[in-house]
């Protein structure tokens, strides 16, 4: 089989394929456009700074915080059904750590809180400093 | 120390590259949209040729778009095309693997028939379609139909190499990236694919 006939074969298959692409119906094109828009939205939202995405993780963090608070109240209450000994308190604290660390969002929130304190401290110094000449 | 007009500006200096400036995000999302609009129809047809089913093809393309946008949008745009096709080909392979597992599972269900060649048949294959699997508008004549049948008969790697090189116009290096193999393998797969297709279609064309 010579090279020239290979070239014309490849050119023919390519042309046929592109004709079939041009022949895609409106409904399919529309679905592709919707898929593209969803992807673009995903790209834009994944690059927003954390304070623009706060709404995404705040419900999870809220639920975790409420669960931790509830556990504290229940375990620390003198009206609880069992007396809390020192050993119990130790294991309760371990339980709390497990509860707190079981939710990814809460871990992020703790880290973020730590970051924020440093950031705001730094930003305040920046804001109060004299502008460069 | 510098002073900032907005919290966002302060954040950008504080946190380095993590949150890209709004203008930059706009710029590359616009570029990404242009890229996806340019390739989406060809990608869909290639997935459809491999999978036969337009809904499955749409799912695979949509998934590839999302993964590219979420994980690789900030990469240089020159890398998008091979990356996109790599994600898509992985999606096609996963779907084909799931289909074959499902087909094997269907063998155990009552009502499953055996092909004369011993292959298990999916009972769902016997249910009449409400519409043809491939709309007529997609068929560009008998020649394209023959080509699709022949492409499906090729080993997966040969079909991938042929479609990426010939239909999508990727060069050898890009095709190697998209297929996750060496450039030498791409050349071998492509040349074997052309040879097989010519053999199969030679008489018809």
The model's pLDDT over A97-115, given as tens digits with 9 standing for 90+, comes to: 655 554 545 455 555 556 6
Domain ranges of chain B: 20-99, 139-205
Categorize the per-residue pLDDT at A133 as very low, low, confident or very high, splitting at 50, 70 and 90. Answer: very low
CB pairs under 8 A between A and B: 138
Least CB–CB distance from B29: residue in A16, A43, A122: A43
| Residue B199 predicted with pLDDT over 70 | yes
Q: Which helix (H) or strand (E) holds B85?
A: helix B80-106
Contact A23 B140 (CB under 8 A): yes
Q: Is the pTM of this model over 0.80?
A: no
Are the beta carbons of B178 and B82 closer than 8 angstroms?
yes
Q: What is the pLDDT of residue A78?
A: 53
Are the beta carbons of B144 and B138 closer than 8 angstroms?
no
Nearest C-alpha neighbor of B65 from the set A29, A47, A42: A42
Least CB–CB distance from B10: residue in A36, A39, A123: A123
| Residue B157 predicted with pLDDT over 90 | yes
Task: Indicate whether this complex's ipTM tops 0.85.
Answer: no
Query: Do residues A64 and A94 share a domain?
Result: yes
Give the structural domain span for A25.
1-47
Query: Do residues A18 and A75 share a domain?
Result: no
CATH class of B20-99: mainly alpha
Contact B7 A51 (CB under 8 A): yes
Contact A32 B1 (CB under 8 A): no
Burial class (CB in 10 A: 0-12, 13-18, 19+), B192: middle
Give the pair of three-digit tokens for residue B185.
């393998």
Token look-up 């018809």 returns B204
Backbone angles phi, psi at A101, to 5 degrees: -85, -10
Rounded distance between C-alpha atoms, residue B160 and residue B191, angstroms: 12
Query: Do residues A67 and A90 share a domain?
Result: yes
| Residue A24 predicted with pLDDT over 60 | yes
Categorize the per-residue pLDDT at B136 as very low, low, confident or very high, splitting at 50, 70 and 90. Answer: very low
Query: Do residues A122 and A60 share a domain?
Result: yes
Task: Give the DSSP letter of residue B72.
Answer: I
Query: Do residues A109 and A129 share a domain?
Result: yes
Q: What is the pLDDT of residue B67?
A: 94
Total domains in chain A come to: 2
Q: What is the pLDDT of residue B56?
A: 95
Query: In terms of CATH architecture, what is B139-205?
Result: Orthogonal Bundle (1.10)
Q: Which of B44, B151, B154, B187 to mutate to test the interface with A (most CBs of A within 10 A)?
A: B44
Which residues of chain B does A114 touch, with a Cβ-Cβ cutoff of 8 Å?
none
Least CB–CB distance from B54: residue in A28, A29, A43: A28
User: Distance of alpha carbon A102 from its chain centroid, rounded?
Assistant: 16
Query: Do residues A80 and A122 share a domain?
Result: yes
| Residue B55 predicted with pLDDT over 80 | yes
Which residues of chain B does A124 touch, with a Cβ-Cβ cutoff of 8 Å?
none
């Amino acid at each position: 089989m010579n090279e020239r006939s290979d070239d014309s074969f490849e050119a023919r298959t390519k042309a046929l394929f592109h004709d079939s692409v041009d022949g895609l119906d409106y409904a399919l094109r529309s679905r592709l456009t919707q898929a593209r828009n969803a992807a673009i939205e995903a790209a834009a939202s994944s690059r927003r700074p954390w304070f623009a995405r706060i709404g995404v993780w705040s419900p999870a963090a809220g639920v975790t915080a409420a669960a931790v608070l509830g556990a504290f109240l229940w375990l620390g209450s003198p009206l609880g059904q069992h007396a809390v000994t020192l050993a119990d308190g130790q294991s309760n604290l371990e339980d709390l750590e497990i509860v707190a660390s079981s939710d990814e969002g809460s871990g992020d929130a703790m880290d973020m809180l730590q970051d924020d304190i440093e950031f705001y401290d730094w930003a305040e110094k920046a804001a109060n400093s004299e502008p460069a000449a | 120390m510098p002073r900032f007009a907005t919290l966002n500006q302060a954040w950008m200096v504080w946190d380095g590259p993590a949150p890209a400036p709004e203008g930059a995000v706009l710029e590359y999302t616009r570029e990404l949209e242009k890229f996806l609009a340019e390739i989406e129809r060809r990608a869909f047809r290639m997935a459809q040729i491999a999978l036969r089913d337009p809904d499955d093809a749409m799912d695979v393309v949509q998934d590839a778009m999302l993964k590219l946008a979420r994980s690789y949008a900030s990469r240089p745009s020159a890398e998008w095309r091979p990356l996109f096709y790599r994600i898509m080909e992985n999606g096609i392979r996963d779907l084909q693997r799931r289909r074959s597992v499902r087909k094997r599972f269907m063998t155990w269900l009552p009502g499953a028939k055996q092909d004369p060649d011993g292959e298990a048949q999916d009972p769902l294959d016997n249910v009449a379609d409400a519409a043809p699997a491939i709309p007529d508008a997609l068929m560009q004549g008998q020649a394209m139909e023959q080509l699709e049948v022949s492409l499906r008969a090729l080993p997966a790697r040969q079909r991938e190499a042929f479609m990426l090189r010939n239909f999508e116009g990727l060069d050898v290096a890009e095709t190697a990236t998209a297929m996750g193999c060496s450039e030498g393998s791409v050349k071998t797969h492509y040349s074997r694919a052309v040879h097989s297709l010519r053999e199969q279609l030679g008489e018809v064309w």
